[in-house]
Amino acid sequence: FGFGGTNAAALLAPPPKPRSSPVHAARSISADAEATRADALVPVPLSAPTQQHLAAWARRLAEALTPGAPLSGTPVEALAARLAGERDHHAFRAVVLAAHGEDLRAKLLALADGRDWPKADKRAATELHVGRAVPPSPLVFTCTGQGGQFWNMGRDLLHSHAVFRDFVERFDDLFAPRAGWSVVAALLAAEHESRLHDAAITPAVMFCLQAGLAEAWKALGIEPDIVIGHSFGEVTAAYLAGGIPLADVAHLVNHRGLIRHEIRRIGGMAAIGMGADELAHFLPGDGSIEIGAFNAPDMVTVSGERAAIVDLIARLERHDPGLLARLLDLDFAWHSSWLDPGEAHFKDAVGALDWQAPRLPVISTVTGRLQSCFDADYWWQNLRQPVRFDAAVNLALTLGARTFVELGPSRTLSSPTASVAGARGIPVTTVSTLNRGQPDRTSFAAAAATLHVTGRTVSWPHRPSGERVPAALPFLPWRLEPLWNAPEEAHRALQGGEPHAFLGARLPGPDWRWQSEISLAGLPFLADHRIGET
């Protein structure tokens, strides 16, 4: 207004209309999920320069949370945000996942005493994380394929994580008009109505879950340096790397799911804990079973006729009762010759895609090499050819990757990743974002905690509005070290080490001068070097 407008100006407009959320319109949340939300654990990070100081710091904080102490009654969320945002993150780190103040105090005391919390609790692995930060290596996002989906996956995040929910809704806006059904509705369907194992439904739902998790990680400041997709997970990997736009993903996953209706044969797949060469002796010779995925030196997936696979599992269990041989929740034989009749239809339906060279390295599980072309022919090969996950992980290791974060509904790729690395003697950190049987937010917080204690920079959430820490945090314990306070001459005399054989001891002062006594008593070998009587 007036001359002041040359310095600053504000444009006023009506506020945007709130967008109606299909998540809440599709179906109300169940009582079980509501309870899950109420029981969510909050990650509380703390650190110190040494392991001993970390224990002492945990004890000080626990004492400050004692009833009647300065921090008693402080909301865990506010305390966590204060510790995350206002304290340096030292090399020795811990993250405690706590539900409330007393829960946090008990776990801090366990950390201070060096105890597991508690050993009898099956959630112990998610509640207390301790580690030492190391220089970060390239981080890999591994995107799972189909077969690990289950009813209720991702539901907690849909209702509790705004970033995750916004992505799912954005994708659904593009996908639902093409497919005639809603991804949101599929994720929120009642258990008896769930169709997540339908091959026409699974691709879109799995993509939404994986890409939504990547967005949630991005909100915490965690982004990949390399991406790998197992089977269908390559669609997510290509999208995350910028190789294919979201609208084309919606088009692609819709037609990928529809190929099931072009091929009427009912098939199946199974995970087998055995190497391909050894397994070859058990496969029938009629071609009814093929190797669909090479996951690790001791782990493959077979694909083919369901009855033949069931028979194979029975024979393997008789051969070795402890062997992993598990039928996957799929009704189709992906990555096998069963798909051949659908090739022409699939390529015609997918047509030209608006793909481009990715901004991140994408390691193909079709070829085991870096991939930059994502046309319809490549996506057919992704469907048809066996998955070479082992080769992709090997290349990532060669590129220096040592941390692998799995995007999927549960822990599926972490074991084969560790197996491939173990065969080369390379230690790696594998992190599963979600774990079946745990609340989504708890699994996600535990995964973030694992990355934090190993040295990654995690942008923990800010303090919620209206909640504050009522008192100053305790000081980090001093790192006490004995220091020798003495003149330079005393230092040289006491800590200077042995004098030089000929020069002797250096004299104090700025000049380079030494003092030495030459005698047979100090240098007896001089007796062998007489010249005359000297």
Least confident of 54-63, 265-274, 419-428: 265-274
CA-nearest of 350, 383, 354, 272 to 317 is 272
Give the model's pLDDT for residue 161.
Answer: 94
SS3 for 395?
helix
C-alpha 407/C-alpha 313 separation (Å) is 28
70-128 per-position pLDDT tens digit: 888 888 988 998 888 878 899 999 999 999 999 999 999 999 988 655 444 445 556 89
In the chain, where are the structural domains located?
A: 22-132, 139-262+335-452, 267-330, 488-529
C-alpha 465/C-alpha 326 separation (Å) is 48
Task: Determine whether 219 is exposed, middle or buried from the number of CB atoms within 10 Å of its CB (0-12, 13-18, 19+).
Answer: middle
Between strands 139-143 and 226-229, the pairing is parallel
Least confident of 82-91, 254-263, 282-291, 492-501: 492-501
Domains 139-262+335-452 and 267-330 share a fold: no
- pLDDT, average across residues 33-55: 78
C-alpha 328/C-alpha 348 separation (Å) is 30
Res. 472: pLDDT tops 80: no
354-402 per-position pLDDT tens digit: 999 999 999 999 999 999 999 999 999 999 999 999 999 999 999 999 9
Length of the chain, in residues: 534
C-alpha 444/C-alpha 434 separation (Å) is 6
Q: What pTM was computed for the model? A: 0.83
DSSP E strands: which ranges in 114-158?
128-132, 139-143
**pLDDT confidence tier of residue 462, bands split at 50, 70 and 90:** low
Higher pLDDT, 501 or 161: 161
Class of domain 267-330 as given by CATH: alpha beta
Helices within 414-476 (DSSP H only): 414-423, 440-453
Return the structure tokens found at 58: 């945990």
**pLDDT confidence tier of residue 227, bands split at 50, 70 and 90:** very high
Res. 7: pLDDT tops 50: yes
CA-nearest of 309, 352, 335, 340 to 389 is 335
Which DSSP category does 198 fall into? S
Across the beta sheet with 289-296, the strand order is: 289-296, 299-305, 267-272, 325-327
Domain 139-262+335-452 has CATH 3.40.50.20: no
Give the model's pLDDT for residue 466.
Answer: 54
Indicate the residue type of 300: V
Between strands 325-327 and 299-305, the pairing is unpaired
CA-nearest of 46, 28, 100 to 71 is 100
CA-nearest of 132, 133, 127 to 111 is 127
Class of domain 22-132 as given by CATH: alpha beta
Res. 268: pLDDT tops 60: yes
Are 197 and 146 spatial neighbours (Cβ–Cβ below 8 Å)?
A: no
**pLDDT confidence tier of residue 510, bands split at 50, 70 and 90:** confident
**pLDDT confidence tier of residue 482, bands split at 50, 70 and 90:** confident
Are 265 and 333 spatial neighbours (Cβ–Cβ below 8 Å)?
A: yes
Give the model's pLDDT for residue 527.
Answer: 81
CA-nearest of 200, 289, 259 to 380 is 259
